[in-house]
Amino acid sequence: MHPGLGRVQELLSRVGSPQHAFQTVLVGGTNGKGSTAAVLASMLHAQGRRTGLFTSPHLTRFTERFQVDGQELPSGTVDTALERLRPHAEDTGATFFEIVTALGALLFAEAGIQTAVMEVGLGGRLDSTNALDPALSVITNVALDHTEILGNTLEAIAAEKAGILRAGRSAVTGVSADLLPLLRATGADLWALGQEMRVQTHSLGWQGAEVALKLPDTALEFQTPLLGAHGARNAALAAAAAWRLGVGGAAIRAGAAAARWPGRLEVLPSGGLGARLLLDGAHNPDGARALAATLLELGVPPVPVIFGAAGDKDVGGVVQALRPHVSHAVLTRATLSPRAAAAADLAPLFAGLPVTLTESPGEALAVLTALKAPLALACGSLYLIGELRPLLLGTAGEDRERWQ
């Protein structure tokens, strides 16, 4: 990882600057940017626009990162474009995420999309997606994460994320009021939740939520299948962004209803377990608190939890938020992630609770089967969720080492 825009700008230039062939929306923030991007792309597609969605990291397959009109691009199409990029990537010394960003731009241009919704990878100012020139930007929220790179205060992180805003151009955000001056200083035409935008949500339990959104020039009402108050809030940000991009109310409602975001508060029937498993990628304290609040909202009692985490995260903060909701901790690690902490290293964080150590997601599922709980939770790492989903769905995963 080498932050900076020079290499990706050179890489894009060498393949004909494909990013100029379509309109770009950048979606940044500490948490919720993936779901916000997915809902916005669904709304744009419902309006009839040919839409690209670029997200990271992928859960199970690398090609999940590149979607056109809700469909993952075929591996052959991706491989062909990657071979075209390869010599230029080697010449420029581009990093993994710089290559992936340029690959997304190239794929979207060749697919003839009209708008690309690009999820920002890390921060904003120096993230490779910021080499694209957004017509509109979204910053979902700001919390402490990646502090070794972005800074150890909310103000420092907000300043980095504000780098995706453009003076005079539309932007929407859900950041707290005390951080808004940093964003407004960019000169962006910014609408903020709690100020220019007001949102009311009504939980529908496991069915999602009803959302009422008051904007400066209209009011919108729609339903979202996203679970939790934070899911409804992310859908509201997506709706505000869609409206500012010219999407009508009917398409906003249709797109919101159709949007899905796998691995984030996703409920899967776990056939062999005779139960349901709630999957969530909560991997930092802010995400874990949102997950905990959703469990309370849904009236979920303490449940067995499959937990694994990257060793370079604030795992203690994540577990602190989740402990009241854990009846039995089944600890494991994502086998394809060298960053994953060993189950034994996680055990002290769950002291006082029943704990079982396992070596793989498959072994963790076997332990869960023996516990015979009607509902269980798996969380702590998106890489862990990415290895669990194929096991639950009976599909094949990719046998590739995962760093990002």
Write down the domain spans for the chain. 6-258, 264-393
pLDDT at 145: 61
Angle, alpha carbons 21-25-26 (nearest 5°): 120
Per-residue pLDDT reduced to its tens digit, 290-303 = 999 999 999 999 99
Segment 276-288 mean pLDDT: 91
The CATH T-level fold of domain 264-393 is Protein-Tyrosine Phosphatase; Chain A (3.90.190)
Per-residue pLDDT reduced to its tens digit, 4-43 = 899 999 999 999 999 999 999 999 998 899 999 999 999 9
Cα(275)–Cα(293) distance, integer angstroms? 22
Contacts of 181 (CB under 8 A, 6+ apart): none
pLDDT at 291: 95
User: Residue 83 CB: number of other CB atoms within 10 A?
Assistant: 9
pLDDT at 147 over 70: no
pLDDT at 183: 96
| Collapsed DSSP state (helix, strand, coil) of residue 147 | helix
Per-residue pLDDT reduced to its tens digit, 216-231 = 999 999 999 999 999 9
Segment 103-120 mean pLDDT: 98
Cα(277)–Cα(178) distance, integer angstroms? 38
Tracing tokens 């604030």 back to the chain, one arrives at 314
264: which strand partners?
280
- Mean of the per-residue pLDDT values for the chain? 93
User: Residue 33 CB: number of other CB atoms within 10 A?
Assistant: 25
Segment 107-135 mean pLDDT: 96
The CATH T-level fold of domain 6-258 is UDP-N-acetylmuramoyl-L-alanine:D-glutamate ligase (3.40.1190)
Where residue 283 falls among pLDDT bands split at 50, 70, 90? Answer: confident
Tracing tokens 């494991």 back to the chain, one arrives at 332
Per-residue pLDDT reduced to its tens digit, 333-362 = 999 999 999 999 999 999 999 999 999 999
Per-residue pLDDT reduced to its tens digit, 56-79 = 999 999 999 999 999 999 999 999
Tracing tokens 């993936």 back to the chain, one arrives at 34
Instruction: Say which residue, 404 or 205, is predicted with more confidence.
Output: 205
Where residue 403 falls among pLDDT bands split at 50, 70, 90? Answer: confident
pTM for this predicted structure:
0.95
Percent of the chain at pLDDT exceeding 70: 97
End-to-end distance of the chain based on CA atoms, in angstroms?
A: 10
Segment 116-134 mean pLDDT: 94
CA torsion, points 273, 330, 366, 310, in degrees to nearest 10?
A: 110
pLDDT at 401: 84
Instruction: Say which residue, 317 or 312, is predicted with more confidence.
Output: 317
